[in-house]
């Protein structure tokens, strides 16, 4: 007897659900798309327990009659395509006819709907995909879908869900992102019984932006509006004065569909070449409109990715449009030597301080002098002579930092000093980072950080995910001397900052901090989180900037403090704080040996 079986529909739907429905946010995304495809102008979402126990999406779209309502929860039923060729020019957001069936397969779902040609509506209740009740109800035209107990019958999936806050933040972000592509539609989110937002219909993208947490970008936004070769690019990019250290502030839409795309992100960045320092990423909300026939949307189960027929052209158009816009905004490009350095090899810094993992976000660009790629702390940050014969090279012996006499400062960045058996060059900035890092950690351990009230408390508004991260890190930040109050929703107020921060732009610093912790997330111990936080704060709060003239006393002070740190050889990110040129090597260079 053969061993191959045709799977029952109940099972195939569960399998399909695995691709379409990953988490409560994916349910919300699919239901929003359906409401938008039904031409709704008002969409309300309510959730409980981060959507895990309850999600309700109500729209005032065209609704369905009884016959369609019964069909739509079956798999592969759709009103959006009819024939094979339709797949190649899709104008609606949905098209596979899979979403409702998939969601129904892994939850208890109630669909209530009415179209305007019938006086009564239909309510259908399902559990695990099986219809349990059908009845007539009196409701206004439109559709409501209620999804309870998501994954109640697939416990393995349920285990993968994140905490309530994380799932809630993801949902809020999805609705807000979607709302940007449909400014004319009103969107409302209620969490438990609190109204999180209620965006009224807007006449234009800009107006919608100002309703959402993206209003924080307002004064920096440059409108983008370009069209060529059948592609229209619209939206807003932020001037180069506003940037992030990760890509989370870049939203791309193709034909109103939010898209994750590294190529688009690179193209955007190309437009900013020379305007932003390395490791900084632009902020942008970009709407690409293109003939649906030239876009294949059928490449990702959750429709997060698309394939463009002439991707190169689109990317070039984007880079070009961005560049032209920046030029018109008259921003001075930043120092251009970053180009030269970029070509050099990148390396992920090794973990300093014996922590298990170094930060694995931005590779750090190394120039000729510091070809330090060793994983061993005992390696001195110098290049091997054999590798690059004509550059400045030397071999390190024991890593010692015993400074005997300061010779001076070069380039307002490096301190040159004599040390046992040679010459050392200290990167004052990296050294300072190392010192501050130690100070922050010991303040956290002592539990009595020196804090200073701000003359003018700073109010900050964040995105949903950022707020969640901030909440998570508040206790750690408090340990360093920050006093941050939650003002409600996504708004926070910084009342005090660590005393040593003095005149720093504390608001920007906290924003950058959140960007960085959002980069490489994963399970971490409290200790690891503290170190990570100290590392980021130390790096952000460089009071001794690279280009600062230092008095002899200041140099002396810096060196003594560096000598006193636990690991004076690298900055907390693993870059060297000093390099040493042994007398021996000098002798060799001058052919004395």
Stretch that binds Mg ion, among 88-96, 264-272, 383-391, 437-445 (CB under 5 A): 88-96
Tell me whether residue 114 or residue 511 sits nearer to ligand ADP (CB atom): 114
Task: Give the shortest CB-352-to-ligand ADP separation in angstroms.
Answer: 51
Single residue of 21, 27, 35, 537 touching ligand ADP by CB under 6 A: 35
Among positions 50, 94, 239, 481, the unique one binding Mg ion when judged by CB under 5 A: 94
Residue 95 binds what, of Mg ion, ligand ADP, none (CB under 5 to 8 Å, by partner type)?
A: ligand ADP
The listed partner (ligand ADP, Mg ion, none) that binds 63, CB under 5 to 8 Å by sort, is ligand ADP
> Rounded to an integer, what distance in angstroms lies between the CA atom of residue 334 and that of residue 282?
14
Pairing of strands 483-488, 346-347: unpaired
Residues with Cβ < 8 Å from 30, sequence gap 6 or more?
20, 21, 94, 99, 100, 103
Cα–Cα distance measured from residue 52 to residue 23, given in angstroms and rounded to the nearest whole number: 8
Beta bridge partners of 226: 233
Rule CB under 6 A: is residue 79 a binding residue for ligand ADP?
yes
- Per DSSP bridges, beta strands 142-148 and 130-137 are unpaired
Select 44 or 143, whichever has its Cβ closest to Mg ion: 143
57 forms part of the interface with Mg ion (CB under 5 A): no
- Applying CB under 6 A, does 61 fall inside the site for ligand ADP? yes
Q: How far is the CB of 39 from Mg ion (least distance, A)?
A: 14
- Range 34-53, binding Mg ion (CB under 5 A): 34
The count of chain residues that interact with Mg ion, using the rule CB under 5 A, is 3
Span interacting with ligand ADP, options 91-99, 287-295, 336-344, 488-496, rule CB under 6 A: 91-99
| Number of amino acids touching ligand ADP (CB under 6 A) | 23
**Chosen residue from 90, 100, 196, 202 binding ligand ADP by CB under 6 A:** 100
Contact residue for ligand ADP among 25, 50, 51, 63 (CB under 6 A)? 63
- Check binding of 99 to Mg ion (CB under 5 A): yes
- Does residue 59 touch ligand ADP according to CB under 6 A? yes
Judged by CB under 5 A, the stretch of 31-39, 328-336, 441-449, 574-582 that binds Mg ion is 31-39
Strand order through the sheet with 483-488: 451-461, 491-498, 483-488
DSSP line for 100-160: HHHHHHTSEEEEEEE-TT-SSEEEEEEETTEEEEEEEE---SEEEEEEESTTTT-HHHHTT
Task: Give the SS3 label for residue 384.
Answer: coil
Coil, helix or strand at residue 256: coil
Spatial distance between the Cα atoms of 414 and 370, rounded to a whole number of angstroms: 13
| Least Å from the CB of residue 51 to ligand ADP | 17
User: Contact with ligand ADP (CB under 6 A): which of 17, 21, 28, 72?
Assistant: 72
Nearer residue to Mg ion within complex by CB, 15 or 340: 15
C-alpha distance across the termini of the chain, in Å: 84
d(CA 314, CA 271): 13
Is 57:117 a contact under the CB 8 Å cutoff? no
Q: Are 440 and 538 in contact (CB under 8 A)?
A: yes
User: Whose Cβ is closer to ligand ADP: residue 107's or residue 518's?
Assistant: 107
Output the smallest distance, CB 87 to ligand ADP, in A: 11
Asked if residue 101 lies in contact with residue 16, where contact means CB atoms within 8 angstroms, the answer is yes
Distance from C-alpha of 286 to C-alpha of 253, rounded to nearest angstrom: 6
Applying CB under 6 A, among 17, 45, 99, 559 the residue interacting with ligand ADP is: 99
- Of 431, 405, 379, 396, the residue nearest 565 (C-alpha): 431
Site membership for ligand ADP, residue 29 (CB under 6 A): no
List of residues contacting Mg ion (CB under 5 A): 34, 94, 99
Binding residues vs ligand ADP (CB under 6 A) = 30, 34-35, 38, 59, 61-64, 72, 77-80, 94-101, 143
């Amino acid at each position: 007897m053969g061993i191959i079986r045709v799977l029952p529909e109940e099972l195939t739907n569960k399998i399909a659900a695995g691709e379409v429905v990953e988490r409560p946010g994916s349910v919300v995304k699919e239901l929003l798309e359906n409401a938008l495809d039904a031409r709704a102008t008002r969409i309300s979402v309510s959730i409980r327990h981060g959507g895990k126990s309850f999600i309700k999406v109500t729209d005032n779209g065209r609704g369905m009659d009884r016959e369609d309502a019964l069909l739509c929860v079956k798999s592969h039923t759709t009103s959006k395509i009819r024939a094979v060729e339709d797949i190649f020019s899709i104008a609606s957001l949905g098209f596979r006819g899979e979403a409702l069936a998939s969601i129904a397969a892994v939850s208890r779902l109630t669909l209530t709907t009415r179209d305007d040609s019938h006086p009564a509506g239909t309510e259908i209740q399902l559990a695990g995909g099986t219809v349990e009740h059908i009845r007539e109800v009196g409701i206004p035209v439109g559709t409501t879908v209620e999804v309870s107990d998501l994954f109640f019958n697939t416990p393995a999936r349920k285990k993968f869900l994140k905490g309530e806050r994380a799932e809630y933040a993801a949902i809020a972000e999805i609705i807000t992102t979607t709302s940007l592509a449909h400014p004319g539609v009103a969107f409302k989110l209620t969490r438990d019984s609190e109204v999180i937002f209620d965006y009224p219909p807007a006449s234009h993208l800009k107006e919608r932006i100002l309703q959402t947490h993206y209003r924080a970008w307002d004064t920096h936004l440059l409108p983008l509006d370009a069209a060529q070769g059948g592609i229209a690019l619209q939206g807003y990019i932020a001037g180069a004065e506003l940037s992030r250290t990760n890509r989370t502030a870049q939203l791309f839409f193709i034909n109103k569909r939010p898209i994750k795309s590294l190529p688009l992100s690179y193209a955007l960045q190309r437009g900013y070449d020379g305007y932003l320092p390395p490791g900084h990423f632009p902020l942008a909300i970009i709407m690409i409109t293109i003939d649906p026939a030239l876009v294949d949307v059928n490449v990702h189960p959750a429709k997060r990715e698309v394939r463009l027929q002439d991707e190169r052209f689109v990317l070039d158009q984007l880079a070009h449009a961005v560049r032209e816009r920046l030029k018109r905004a008259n921003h001075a490009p930043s120092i251009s030597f970053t180009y030269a350095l970029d070509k050099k090899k990148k390396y992920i810094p090794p973990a300093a301080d014996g922590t298990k993992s170094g930060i694995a976000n931005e590779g750090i660009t190394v120039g000729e002098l510091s070809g330090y790629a060793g994983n061993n702390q005992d390696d001195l940050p110098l290049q091997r002579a054999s590798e690059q014969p004509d550059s400045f090279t030397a071999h390190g012996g024991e890593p010692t930092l015993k400074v005997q006499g300061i010779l001076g400062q070069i380039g307002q960045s490096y301190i040159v000093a004599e040390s046992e058996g040679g010459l050392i060059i200290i990167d004052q900035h990296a050294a300072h980072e190392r010192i501050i890092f130690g100070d922050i950690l010991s303040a956290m351990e002592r539990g009595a950080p020196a804090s200073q009230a701000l003359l003018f408390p700073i109010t900050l508004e964040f995105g949903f995910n950022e707020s969640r991260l901030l909440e998570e890190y508040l206790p750690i930040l408090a340990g360093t001397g920050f006093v941050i109050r939650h003002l409600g929703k996504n708004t926070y107020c910084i009342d005090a900052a660590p005393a040593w921060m003095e005149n720093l732009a504390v608001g920007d610093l906290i924003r950058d901090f959140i960007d960085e912790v959002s980069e490489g997330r994963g399970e971490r111990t409290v200790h690891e989180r503290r170190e990570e936080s100290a590392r980021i704060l130390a790096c952000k709060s460089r009071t001794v900037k690279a280009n600062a003239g230092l008095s002899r006393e200041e140099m002396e002070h810096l060196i003594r403090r560096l000598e006193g740190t636990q690991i004076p050889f690298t900055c907390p990110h693993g870059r060297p704080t000093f390099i040493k040129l042994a007398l021996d090597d000098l002798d060799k260079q001058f052919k004395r040996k």
